[in-house]
Amino acid sequence: MLDTAVQWDGVRSDPPRLQRTWGVAGCRFLADGGRTRLADLHQSGALKVRFPRTADPDTVEAVILNTAGGLTDGDRLHIEVAVGEGASASLTTQACEKIYASRCHNAEIVSRLTIGAGAYAAWLPQETILFNAARLRRTFDVDLAADSRLLALESILLGRNAMGERLLCGTMSDRWTIRRNGRLIHAEALRITEESIGDLERAALLADATAMSTILYVGPDVPQAAEALRRTVDTLPDPKGLLGISAWNGKLLVRAAAADGLELRRLLVPLLTHLNRGKPLPRVWSL
């Protein structure tokens, strides 16, 4: 474990708190004449939102940028999105989110979605990369209407394989809460601590994998989506990695793990494309 204290004239003290990155982004989308349009936009600090032109006129694509280039010791981002009745929006990030080594404070990311009646939201950020000694606390909260649909993805890369780096120390807390009509329908929490990092290599956990993803789909057509997704998996040419699909109580959950980020993407892209109503993933995924 890193010793984050410093010593001045023989007196030990905690390191000084440096100026930190912060960012806030908020979007509200409304259905207008069969199309979705941006109704409100707020962006400040390190967070910016861009809206590229797409071939699909029915869905707005929003790309979230962190102009700080990454997060570290005490940095904070807050994202809030509302998709109004009958609207359709796809949200992603411009690049992988990099969580750099921290001395003692967590980087924090808070994301909140509100999805109105008959609306659809696809939350498809690119991977989060945990550098060695990174510290991250992240929450993802969603409020759904009775007949709205959600496709949500989060992917984590444990270290930078291309640099020969393995995650040897650091912490992560990742919490999801999904509510429909105010009722909690899904909650999960992932916690990686200094003491548990070594256990991730055990066969019952990640084995040799350093990349992992969770996909959640919630909607009225979950049974049909799950059956079609399993057929999609059967057609994949020798998929590399671990994959599990479960469907119950109106939600579909996919867990995936692979040796590295590239193999994980190869596993995820056909699954996400299927669950995203057959539409292609955001273009930034292929840049």
Looking at residue 46, what is its pLDDT?
95
3-state secondary structure of 110: strand
Looking at residue 239, what is its pLDDT?
65
Which CA distances in Å does 85 have to 28, 119, 145, 148? Answer: 11, 5, 9, 9
Looking at residue 264, what is its pLDDT?
92
Closest CA to 103 of 195, 199, 169: 169
Q: How confident is the model at residue 208 (pLDDT cuts 50, 70, 90)?
A: confident
Per-residue pLDDT for 11 more than 60?
no
Do residues 216 and 248 touch, judged by C-beta distance below 8 A? Answer: no
Looking at residue 253, what is its pLDDT?
97
106 or 169, which is more confident? Answer: 106
DSSP β-ladder status, 107-115 and 135-144:
parallel
Highest mean pLDDT among 18-22, 192-196, 248-252: 248-252
Q: What is the pTM of this model?
A: 0.89
Looking at residue 6, what is its pLDDT?
43
pLDDT digits (tens, 9 = 90+) for 70-117: 999 999 999 999 999 999 999 999 999 999 998 889 999 999 999 999
Looking at residue 162, what is its pLDDT?
67
Average pLDDT over residues 21-46: 94
Which CA distances in Å does 157 have to 127, 171, 212, 266? Answer: 7, 13, 7, 14
Looking at residue 286, what is its pLDDT?
82
Dihedral in degrees, nearest 10, Cα atoms 250, 212, 79, 120: -30
Which CA distances in Å does 259 have to 165, 174, 190? Answer: 13, 21, 19
3-state secondary structure of 227: helix
3-state secondary structure of 280: coil
Taking the alpha carbons at both ends of the chain, their separation in whole angstroms is: 37
262-267-271 Cα angle (round to 5)? 135
Looking at residue 204, what is its pLDDT?
63
Per-residue pLDDT for 281 more than 50?
yes
Do residues 185 and 145 touch, judged by C-beta distance below 8 A? Answer: no
- Domain ranges, ordered by start, for the chain: 21-286
The CA distance from 230 to 234, in Å, is: 6
Q: How confident is the model at residue 2 (pLDDT cuts 50, 70, 90)?
A: very low
Residues 6+ apart with CB under 8 A from 198: none
The CA distance from 147 to 120, in Å, is: 9
pLDDT digits (tens, 9 = 90+) for 112-162: 999 999 999 999 999 999 998 999 999 999 999 999 999 999 999 997 776
CA gyration radius, the chain:
20
Per-residue pLDDT for 200 more than 90?
no
Average pLDDT over residues 58-70: 93
Average confidence score pLDDT of the chain: 88
Q: How confident is the model at residue 213 (pLDDT cuts 50, 70, 90)?
A: very high
Which CA distances in Å does 71 have to 43, 46, 65, 129, 181? Answer: 18, 10, 12, 10, 34
Q: Which two tokens stand for residue 262?
A: 């590239």
Q: Which residue has the tokens 């992932």?
A: 190
